Amino acid sequence: MVAVRLPSLPTPVVALGLALALLAGGLAGLPRTRVARSGETRALGEVIRAARGQGGARFVVPDEETLEATHELVAELARAIRKGKKSPARGLDDSADALGLVLEEAKAGRERFIVLRERTGEPRGAGLYVFRTRKVAHPTVIEAPHTIYDTYTDALSRDVFVESDAFALFQNTVERYTLSERASDVAHTEASHFHAAHRAVVDAVAGVRAIQVHGFGTSARVPRRVDFIVSDGGRGTPTSDAERAVTAALGDGFGHDRVAIYGEGVNVLGGTTNLQGRYLNEARGAVGDFVHLEISKSVRSAFVRDAGARARLIEAIAEVVGERWTD
């Protein structure tokens, strides 16, 4: 596994380590809320874009053997991190390499991150996964399965992960519509590294939770005032504590009339067919550990150009990440 030492060479790995270090406040005492288009954040964005690939990349559907190997790799890594092992990725390089993936370690101040990504120049939709190695109170995964189609959800999910106490960040790396019949939509196909990784952390980490970030445009089916739709992925289920916590935090930051709970005045974009939500809810035997968060295009656009909007959104989600969702 490559260990990032932050030398001066501007390689993608170095850019990742530098960006994480700066964003986590590990260098020069940088403030924790900055405009998302700052140089430090942009450096990490370049790494993520490189991992995702540029123009023309197509989703490669993995076979069952590959999916199970991905599940095993991510589960073993997640278990090692939660057990507090000093080198949680030790011995996993060969497994990653066999899957066409790369394991790296990035140091950010006093924190270390384990990165699992596609090989540079070989995008195929296998995803990007970043793990915080420090023990966190409430292990939460920040997921963005539609980072290209749902604009700015890559930057949003990345910054929330870095500036919160989240356990991991999962992002897709190829456009969701490169294949027909949702075959390349990782939120709706079981045949993806993304879903295999999600299953792995659910199976391996007790009490793991997920906040999945999506985006919507203008729609006659959503009241104009609504900028956020919060759901636990259940269909016709009572409102969960997680839904209420996210709704309250976003309402405090943006106005309570701008946040809707799915099924309470808004009956679209509830993530009821989302596979990650379904898997986590079924694993728990009840809803409550999965949050499907739809964010309007106007708020997502403000996130990258308005420091105040960015700070409020990160603060709201970070607050929920640090809380217990159920009694």
**pLDDT (tens digit, 9 = 90+) per residue, 11-33?**
444 445 444 443 443 323 323 33
Interval 50-86: pLDDT, tens: 555 555 578 999 999 999 999 999 999 999 999 999 9
Question: Residue 327: inside a domain, yes or no?
Answer: no
Does residue 289 fall inside a structural domain? yes
Side-by-side strand order, sheet with 128-132: 2-4, 101-108, 111-118, 128-132, 168-171, 140-144, 209-216, 290-296, 228-231, 259-261
CA 161, 162, 166, 167 torsion-angle sign: positive
Sequence-distant (≥ 6) Cβ neighbours of residue 202 within 8 angstroms: 208, 279, 280, 283
pLDDT (0 to 100) of residue 123:
83
Asked if residue 173 is part of any domain, the answer here is yes
Give the total number of structural domains in the chain. Answer: 1
171 vs 34 pLDDT, higher one: 171
Q: How confident is the model over 119-133, as pLDDT tens digits?
A: 888 889 999 999 999
pLDDT at 160: 92
pTM: 0.87
Range of the domain at 77: 2-321
What is the pLDDT confidence band of residue 101, given thresholds at 50, 70 and 90? very high
Query: Angle at the Cα of 191 (from 237 to 217), degrees rounded to 5?
Result: 55
Per-residue confidence (pLDDT) for residue 273, from 0 to 100? 95
Please tell me the distance from the alpha carbon of residue 221 to that of residue 303, in angstroms, as a whole number.
24
Beta bridge partners of 108: 111
User: Positive or negative, the Cα torsion across 116, 118, 119, 121?
Assistant: negative
Give the separation between CA 165 and CA 186, rounded to whole angstroms. 25
For residue 56, the model assigns a pLDDT of 59
- Specify if 167 maps to a domain: yes
What is the model's pLDDT at position 286? 80
The confidence band for 163, taking pLDDT boundaries of 50, 70 and 90, is: confident
Query: Average of pLDDT values for 314-326?
Result: 86
- Give the confidence band of 241 by pLDDT, cuts at 50, 70, 90: confident
